[in-house]
Amino acid sequence: MKKQIDIAGLEGARAIVLHPEHDRLPVMLRQLRAIGLEVESAWPTLPASAITADFTLYDTDAGHDEQFPWPAGHAPMPMIALVGSEAPGRIEWASRTGADALLVKPLVASGVFASLLMARQSFERRKALLAEVEALRERLSARQTIVRAVSLLAKKTGSEATAYDDLRQLAMAWQMTMEDAAVQIVQHNETTGAYRDCS
């Protein structure tokens, strides 16, 4: 099924706006509140509460890395760049800080809602991809464990041909995945020098 944009979660969501005082800043803050968000603005220092905010909107004209307590590109929430100067260096910085969406100045009401939704979708997608990469990495390392477990079983039974099947049988008996069963066998062997057996 196509992933639908979740709007309902915006109510009571907290947005931190990291931007210097400006005549037009209230226009954007008003719009964020109209959409249903709780808004806090700050400059130049992010308050400690920012770490749990649901969105960060930040000025790219005067912004710099040291303003954020997290490594560039690893913000724990969707980031929206407020772009004035389109000098390539500034756009590069916006991108490096991990902008999930951008709003071009002058600050206005229109576009704010769209950028919130875009930023959140892009952030969620990025998070899901990272989680998937992590899971694949784990499975990759689990494959090495399986190879070790199979060779341990082969030593015990003397048959390499059936060892993989033995592992599958053990996993079923222990009601766990083959990867977890392999970890058990390898760990047991490491701590006792013996094979864990299902008997």
Of 1 and 161, CB closest to another protein: 1
Could you tell me what percentage of the chain is helix, strand and coil, using 3-state DSSP and rounding each to the nearest 5? 55, 10, 35
**SS3 of 26, please?**
helix
Please report how close the Cβ of residue 185 comes to another protein at its closest, in angstroms: 44
Q: The tokens of 88 are what?
A: 């390539």
Least distance in Å: CB of 11 to another protein? Answer: 5
> CB of 171 within 8 A of CB of 178?
yes
| 100 vs 91: CA distance, rounded Å | 13
Task: Work out how close the CB of 117 gets to another protein at its nearest, in angstroms, rounded to a whole number.
Answer: 10
Task: Count CA atoms closer than 13 A to 144's CA, side-chain side.
Answer: 5
Residues that bind another protein (CB under 8 A): 1, 4-11, 27, 30-31, 33-36, 109-110, 113
CB of 198 to another protein, least distance (A): 43
Q: Give dist(CA 114, CA 119) in Å, integer.
A: 8
Task: Give min distance, CB of 93 to another protein, in A.
Answer: 31
Lateral strand order in the sheet of 14-18: 38-42, 14-18, 55-59, 79-83, 101-104
Residue 29 vs 102, nearer CB to another protein = 29
CA distance 140 to 165: 20
Using the minimum distance from each CB to another protein, give the nearer residue, 35 or 81.
35
Which C-beta is closer to another protein: that of 7 or that of 133? 7
Of 121 and 184, which has the nearer Cβ to another protein?
A: 121
Tell me the three state secondary structure of residue 56: strand
Among residues 29 and 167, whose Cβ is nearest to another protein? 29
Return d(Cα 51, Cα 53) in angstroms, integer. 6
Q: CB 98 → another protein: shortest distance, Å?
A: 24
